[in-house]
């Protein structure tokens, strides 16, 4: 029987040379470990768009499923990332550690160049449990489909995941006046990004129908930020406060 300690093997270096850091990253990738690197780096992305970040202190995480995340010291979202399915590679270039995450479809490349590595680690382990979500967006959708009046009196759902040029709409329906209604669902408090997403769906559906089509957009979530509330009013969009069921 294998020793669990071996399966959770950790390799960590403090202030390594670029070559030592490269070797640790490469070994971690080879054994399907979670690899993290912290230090002074630039970040350059080339794909459907291009972006570049000047030198700064950042934390990079490479996951065995091919995902790559670049974090700063602020916020919960990465400043740049690659989805699962990418190939990771580490090389030395002119005294710097360079990490690349490559995606083939579509063709995208994330390149992080470390002039200084403060710490590099590779963690081997496993997590075979599945996250049990309570109160998902699907639960919220089913709640509205079963009780459409929760959205508003006279609302009639007609389709879920209705395709538009901007993406799939969570719920598409009509109000009691026969106007098209786009419903975007969120299970948590939301900000301006959710409003922008809803606006794109409304604009796409208006173009998809006909020139004088009246399409309403309704954002459904437990709550919205003040900025999101102002954007909703600015774009003539609506908000309904509703939480997914607890069970």
Secondary structure of the chain as H, E, C letters: CCCHHHHCCEEEEECCCHHHHHHHHHHHHHCCCEEEEEEEEEEEEECCCEEEEEEEEEEEEECCCCCEEEECCCCCCCCEEECCCCEEEEEEECCEEEEEEEECCCCEEEEEEEEEEEEEEEECCCCCCCCCCCCCHHHHHHHHHHCHHHCCCCCEEEEEEEEECCEEEEEEEECCCCCEEEEEECCCCECHHHHHHHHHHHHHHHHHCCCCCCEEEEEEECCECHHHHHHHHHCCCEEEECCCCCC
> For the chain, which residues make up each domain, given as ranges?
4-123, 137-241
* pLDDT tens by residue, 25-79: 999 998 889 999 999 999 999 987 789 999 999 999 999 888 999 999 888 889 9
Higher pLDDT, 130 or 103: 103
pTM: 0.54
Considering the segment(s) 137-241 as one domain, its CATH architecture is 3-Layer(aba) Sandwich (3.40)
Question: Is a pLDDT exceeding 80 seen at residue 210?
Answer: no
Question: Is a pLDDT exceeding 60 seen at residue 237?
Answer: yes
* pLDDT tens by residue, 154-190: 999 999 998 888 889 999 999 999 999 999 999 888 8
Which pLDDT score, from 0 to 100, does residue 150 have?
94
pLDDT band at 211 (very low <50, low <70, confident <90, very high): low
The topology (CATH level 3) of 4-123 is: Protein Yojf; Chain: A; (2.70.180)
Looking at every residue in the chain, the average pLDDT score rounds to 88
Question: Is a pLDDT exceeding 90 seen at residue 84?
Answer: no
* pLDDT tens by residue, 133-162: 457 888 899 999 999 999 999 999 999 998
Which pLDDT score, from 0 to 100, does residue 129 have?
57
Which pLDDT score, from 0 to 100, does residue 126 have?
62
């Amino acid at each position: 029987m294998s020793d669990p300690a071996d399966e959770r093997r950790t390799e960590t270096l403090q202030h390594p040379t670029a070559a030592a850091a490269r070797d640790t990253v490469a070994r971690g990738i080879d054994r399907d470990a979670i690899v993290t690197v912290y230090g002074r780096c630039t970040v350059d992305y080339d794909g459907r768009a291009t972006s570049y970040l000047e030198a700064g202190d950042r934390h990079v995480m490479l996951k065995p499923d091919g995902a790559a995340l670049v974090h700063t010291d602020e916020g919960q979202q990465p400043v740049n990332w690659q989805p699962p399915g990418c190939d990771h590679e580490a090389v030395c270039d002119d005294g710097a550690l360079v990490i690349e995450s490559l995606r083939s479809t579509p063709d995208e490349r994330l390149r992080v160049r470390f002039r200084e590595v403060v710490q590099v680690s590779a963690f081997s382990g496993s997590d075979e449990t599945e996250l049990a979500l309570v109160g998902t967006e699907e639960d919220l959708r089913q709640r509205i489909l079963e009780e459409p009046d929760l959205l508003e009196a006279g609302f009639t759902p007609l389709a879920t995941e209705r395709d538009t040029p901007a993406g799939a709409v969570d719920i598409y329906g009509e109000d009691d006046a026969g106007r098209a209604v786009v419903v975007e669902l969120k299970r948590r408090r939301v900000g301006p990004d959710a409003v922008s997403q809803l606006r794109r769906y409304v604009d796409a559906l208006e173009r998809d129908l006909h020139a004088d089509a009246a399409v309403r957009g309704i954002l459904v979530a437990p709550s919205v930020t003040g900025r999101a509330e102002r954007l909703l009013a600015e774009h003539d969009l609506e908000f309904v406060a509703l939480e997914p069921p607890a069970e």
